[in-house]
């Protein structure tokens, strides 16, 4: 019998959870050890822990700021423990393997920030509120979630006088990044890794439940034609297969600002970290086709052109 069904069948769920924790069944991974894992990744990269008030959520961040007034590379976490056992994910979405934080730790830019998703590592802003599981399930790309990240970016921009952001989204963090970019004027570029850029297609091809309470980036694709983008997808990834990216590209009007790359050896959560410094060096820009593009600086810092030259690109067919 599944652990969650077993727990739900008992009259006092909290008492059982306490007993399991004392017995070492859950406490080894939830939540302390996952927080400790994040700290051990961030500390060698000189990234300092800070919790950002982004009502109604409290968002965990790890930050390294060496250039106040500059541009920040901002990494957004994936969907968390979705690939862990169902029982663990029901209890806490905090990831065992925080891929986006690993990627951020490899970034040598002056300003590097990682932001976890709501209910990962932290609870709600108000101690009296409960972090409902819909936050990391059906509503994980909801308008409320996007608004909380918008507040977090405003907090960072004000606190450090940041003039713009290069967004890097992993898994569901890619959806957050693209949706944020449609409503802000300080996003200089977008990179995604194993990005869920069309959650309806993702549900269809991966079998995960449909996200009825979420916004879908693919429906906002036409608003992103002038923002430089680079999308990386894993050749061994069965959870976010190329069909998800292809759907997003098909919804994108003709543009010279979108690049993609298949990393053949990469899976959903493996094969990215060691390769990331090399991938960061790839220019993220809008190409005019005349060979006069200025190379990006600060690992991808670019200023979106107000009137880019658009070229017609053949849209890939869905596999």
**Residue 129 banded pLDDT, cuts 50, 70, 90:** confident
Tell me, yes or no, whether 310 lies in a domain: no
Residue 177 confidence (pLDDT) above 60: yes
**Residue 57 banded pLDDT, cuts 50, 70, 90:** very high
Q: pLDDT: is 311 or 190 the higher one? A: 190
Q: What is the pLDDT of residue 84?
A: 56
> What is the average pLDDT value for the chain, to the nearest integer?
84
Of residues 217, 197, 229, the one with CA closest to residue 302:
229
Element at 167 (helix H, strand E): strand 164-170
Mean pLDDT value of segment 291-300: 41
Structural domain harbouring 164: 31-280
Cβ atoms of 195 and 240 closer than 8 Å: yes
Find tokens 């994108």 and name the residue: 252
The 10 Å Cβ neighbour count of residue 293 is 14
CATH number of 70's domain: 3.40.50.1820
Tell me, yes or no, whether 178 lies in a domain: yes
**Residue 306 banded pLDDT, cuts 50, 70, 90:** very low
Mean pLDDT value of segment 100-114: 98
Q: What is the pLDDT of residue 83?
A: 61
Of residues 200, 186, 191, the one with CA closest to residue 170:
191
Mean pLDDT value of segment 174-187: 98
**Residue 29 banded pLDDT, cuts 50, 70, 90:** low
Mean pLDDT value of segment 172-191: 98
CA 181 to chain centre: 13
Portion of the chain with pLDDT greater than 90, in percent = 69
Tell me, yes or no, whether 239 lies in a domain: yes
Measure the CA–CA gap between 161 and 101, rounded to whole angstroms: 23
Q: How do beta strands 111-115 and 57-65 pair?
A: antiparallel
Q: What is the pLDDT of residue 309?
A: 32
Tell me, yes or no, whether 231 lies in a domain: yes
Cβ atoms of 92 and 70 closer than 8 Å: no
**Residue 189 banded pLDDT, cuts 50, 70, 90:** very high
Tell me, yes or no, whether 91 lies in a domain: yes
Find tokens 């919790």 and name the residue: 51
Tell me, yes or no, whether 93 lies in a domain: yes
Measure the CA–CA gap between 135 and 243, rounded to whole angstroms: 26
Q: What is the pLDDT of residue 123?
A: 84
Q: What is the pLDDT of residues 233-254, one digit of tens each?
A: 999 999 999 999 999 999 999 9
- The DSSP output letter for 43 is G
What values do phi and psi take at 62, rounded to 5? -125, 125
- Number of domains comprising the chain: 1
Tell me, yes or no, whether 67 lies in a domain: yes
Tell me, yes or no, whether 58 lies in a domain: yes
Tell me the CA end-to-end span of the chain in Å, nearest whole number. Answer: 37
């Amino acid at each position: 019998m599944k652990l969650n069904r077993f727990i739900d069948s008992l009259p006092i769920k909290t008492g059982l959870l306490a007993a399991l924790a004392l017995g070492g069944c859950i406490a080894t991974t939830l939540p302390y050890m996952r927080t400790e894992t994040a700290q051990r990744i961030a500390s060698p990269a000189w990234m300092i822990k800070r919790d950002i008030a982004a009502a109604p959520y409290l968002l965990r961040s790890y930050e390294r700021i060496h250039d106040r007034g500059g541009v920040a590379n901002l990494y957004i976490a994936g969907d968390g423990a979705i690939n862990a056992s169902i029982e663990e994910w029901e209890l806490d979405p905090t990831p065992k393997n925080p891929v986006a934080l690993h990627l951020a730790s490899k970034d040598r830019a002056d300003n590097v920030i990682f932001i976890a998703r709501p209910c990962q590592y932290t609870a709600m802003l108000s101690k009296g509120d409960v972090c409902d599981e819909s936050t990391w399930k059906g509503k994980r790309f909801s308008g409320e979630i996007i608004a909380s990240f918008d507040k977090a970016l405003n907090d960072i921009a004000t606190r450090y006088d940041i003039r713009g952001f290069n967004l890097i989204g992993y898994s569901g963090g890619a959806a957050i990044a693209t949706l944020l970019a449609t409503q802000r004027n300080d996003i200089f570029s977008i990179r995604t890794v194993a990005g869920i850029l069309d959650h309806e297609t993702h549900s269809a091809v991966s079998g995960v439940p449909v996200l009825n309470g979420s916004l879908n980036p693919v429906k906002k694709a036409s608003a992103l034609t002038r923002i430089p983008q680079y999308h990386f997808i894993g050749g061994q990834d069965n959870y976010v297969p190329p069909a998800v990216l292809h759907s997003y590209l098909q919804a994108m009007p003709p543009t010279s600002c979108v690049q993609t790359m298949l990393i053949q050896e990469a899976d959903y959560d493996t094969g990215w970290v060691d390769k990331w410094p090399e991938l960061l060096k790839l220019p993220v820009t809008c190409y005019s086709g005349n060979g006069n593009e200025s190379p990006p600086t600060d690992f991808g810092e670019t200023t979106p052109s107000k009137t880019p030259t658009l070229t017609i690109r053949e849209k890939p067919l869905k596999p």
